[in-house]
Amino acid sequence: MSEQLKKAKHIDVDEKSKLSDLEEFREYPEGQFLTTNQGVRVSETDMSLKAGERGPTLLEDFHFREKLTHFDHERIPERVVHARGTGAHGYFECYESMAEYTMASFLQEAGKKTPVFVRFSTVVGFRGSADTVRDARGFATKFYTEDGNYDLVGNNIPVFFIQDAIKFPDLVHSIKPEPDDEMPQASAAHDTFWDFVASHHENAHMIMWLLSDRGIPRSYRMMQGFGVNTFRFVNKAGKGRFVKFHWIPKLGVHSLVWDEAQKLAGKDPDYHRRDLYEAIDAGHYPEYELAVQIIEEADEQKFDFDLLDATKIVPEEQVPLKIIGKLTLTARPDNFFAEVEQVAFCPANVVPGIDFTNDPLLQGRLFSYLDTQLIRLGGPNFHEIPINRPLAPYHNNQRDGYHRMTINRGKSAYFPNTVGNGDPRPASREERGYVHYTEKVEGKKIRARSDSFKDFFSQATLFWNSMTGPEKTHIVKAFHFEVGKVKSLEIRQRVTDMFANVDPELGRMIAEGVGVKVPAPKAPQKKSKLDKSPALSQLNKVPDTIVGRKVAILAAEGVKASEVEQMKKAVKTAGASAEVVSKVQGLHKGSDGGEVMVDKSYVTTGSILYDAVFVPGGKQSVETLKSHGDAIHFLNEAFRHCKPIGAMGEGVDLIKASAISGVSISGEGKGGIVSDKGVVTARDETDLIAFFERFRKAMAQHRHWDREKKEAVPA
């Protein structure tokens, strides 16, 4: 087993026998000859075989034909949804035995590690769309367990648009680019989608999440994941319990601001992908804790919503989260196509101890994913692609088909048989054979919806009531953008009337922003048992860390090189990174005799690519920066996006020269340091350690939303 594979899969050496099938598919071209797909060494690959130097190409040139034929067929159909994505290898470590609740092998003992592959994605856009569009994000995890592959296929939002999977084609057709002109790309801000929304009130809760800050995450590393549907845990005794899955990022849940997200789509459309890979390369491995909500079957009916309704959450105040393990991503793919594009997830891929419920959205997903993969990956053998192969051995009587790679031995391909000694044979429950949960099912064949599914607004209201002031403001502005793009006044009015059911004040604010009548106040159809759930607000869960953050240091010739160096060291010690940004790249001589290497120019970067900005001292440097419009814009834009800003010595003068106002940037604070609204300044020589700690705390807060009350920041 190669060191590369051990790193990618993070497997203990004593498990190497399970990896032999995967290793044989990895190619290492270093020091090798160029060959055909049949292993024949090639002597020439730049010129085709011709009849004379200027003659026609000969059909017998097998290398030419193979090379061009393979190239002609390199593209496979992109996913209908979740086409734009990225992935990483890692491992899952169990914190404690969950044997009381489930017989799933990867949850049986504390410290047990299971290799995983995770794919993050946007939902709506094509493969070439930008990472930072407003959208739900996929969070799919493939566990390579000893009992086979288990796929936990979810999103970064815990609910969904629809209650029944039969509506999924309608939903996707409505949100995709409109069929007459194929616009807009990767956006819900158009007539057909909002027509669908106004026609299906069941999606009110999902829309509230989508138009919140959750729709524009800062990073895949700072994004929650949810299983969305209700599943079952089943233990060895056959006892079942309902379970909801949550992934909780150790770095906290953070988002972009809308102006920033739009600009990033142009400046770096690969922003989230690049951020993930840079963090892994730097050793800042993304971590997520797995939490579950476990509900006894006897308690199924105790809620004021239906557990099988995928448009509802189970509030943490009613069923607390139990943290049971941690996911760590440790390696980027070796080959993006072979792994990220060809990985196939399916919620029907379960292992003993995990089972399904009658959630009608989940029931449709169990069929649809497999059906899609059959055509997208060219037939029934996609499970033999290395990234999809289980580490557990597999034996069955399935044969042939497109792209078959297994060479099956023996005479029989049926069961029962005598010519093959009856093998392979079914396994009993005691032999860890999968046994479906025993559930009594009866009823008339009917196309209907349970009355328990007909509450569409109470949890949307709960979500709205749980938001802080800044979060509510962002939701309203998102409505103004999304619905404001709708051409039909009639659809705008219907959407506004619909969300007045969530909250009359919300309806009023939407109406005022999109030019329609303010809806008449409406009595709530049904209230949630909870008035609010603080756990739903991102701002209530901000950990004190800056791991993986990026700081821009603005500099020019004559900068204080010692302050730049000290800031870089302090940032690195805290698990973050810093880059020097200037008008041009190259070396700058410092006023104190040192030198500073410029990492990025204003042309190649922007404040939107950083989490904070620092301006060191150096009179010549600051005077030069004052004359650079790009430097002033960099600072103003960061301030407008509510990011932390720090300045020392003459660097404070650059802040004064910008449009930043309404904060204290002069005078004497403790230790000569002033900190106000995330702007940390020190006019005179001061203790850099104390300064950095103030700056670090401002960064850990992520954003300083009180600045949004200002309208006069040009950026």
**550-709, which class in CATH?**
alpha beta
- 112: how many CB neighbours lie within 10 A of its CB? 18
pTM check: above 0.85:
yes
Q: Which tokens hold the place of 64? A: 């030419």
The b/e string for 237-265 (b: 16+ C-beta within 10 A; e otherwise) is eeebbbbbbbbbbbbbbbbbbbebbbbbb
Residues 17-50 have pLDDT tens digits of: 334 456 777 778 888 888 888 888 989 988 889 8
Q: How confident is the model at residue 441 (pLDDT cuts 50, 70, 90)?
A: confident
| DSSP β-bridge partners for residue 245 | 292
CATH number of this structure's domain 456-540: 1.20.1370.20
Q: Position of tokens 């440097």?
A: 621
Domain topology for 3-72: Cytochrome C Oxidase; Chain J (4.10.91)
Q: How far apart are CA 170 and CA 242, in angstroms?
A: 29
Helix, strand, coil shares of the chain, percent, nearest 5, are: 35, 15, 50
Q: Is 452 in contact with 306 (CB distance < 8 Å)?
A: yes
- Integer Cα distance of 157 and 214 in angstroms: 7
How many CA atoms does the CB half-sphere of 537 hold within 13 Å? 17
For 493-509, what is the mean pLDDT? 97
Helix, coil or strand: residue 577: strand
Q: Which CATH number fits domain 85-388: 3.50.30.40, 3.40.50.300, 3.30.70.260, 2.40.180.10?
A: 2.40.180.10
> Please, which pLDDT band fits residue 127 given cuts at 50, 70 and 90?
very high
Taking CA atoms, 539 is separated from 505, 531, 680, in Å, by 22, 18, 21
HSE-CB at 334 with a 13 A cutoff on CA atoms is: 17
Q: Which residues are catalytic?
A: 82, 155
List pLDDT tens digits, range 652-679: 999 989 988 777 776 555 556 787 889 9
* Better-scored residue on pLDDT, 700 or 75: 700
pLDDT digits (tens, 9 = 90+) for 561-597: 999 999 999 999 999 999 999 999 999 999 999 999 9
pLDDT at 11 over 50: no
Query: Which H or E run includes 656?
Result: helix 651-657
Question: What is the per-residue pLDDT for 1?
Answer: 32
| Among 278, 353, 364, 261, CA closest to 86 | 278
What pLDDT is stored for residue 124 in this prediction?
97
pLDDT in tens, 370-422: 999 999 999 999 999 999 999 988 898 889 999 899 998 988 888 888 998 98
Q: How far is CA 421 from the centre of its chain?
A: 48
In the chain, where are the structural domains located?
Answer: 3-72, 85-388, 456-540, 550-709
Q: Is the pLDDT of residue 484 over 50?
A: yes
Scored b (16 or more CB within 10 A) or e, 57-83 reads eeeebebbeebeeeeeeeeeeebebbb
Residue 570 CA to residue 572 CA, distance in Å, equals 5
DSSP string, 326-364: EEEEEE--S-HIIIIIT----TT---TTEE----HHHHH
Percent of the chain surpassing pLDDT 90:
75
**Fold match between 85-388 and 550-709?**
no
d(CA 154, CA 143): 14
At CA 273, angle to CA 271 and CA 279, rounded to 5? 95
Residue 35 neighbours by CB under 8 Å, 6+ apart: 41, 42
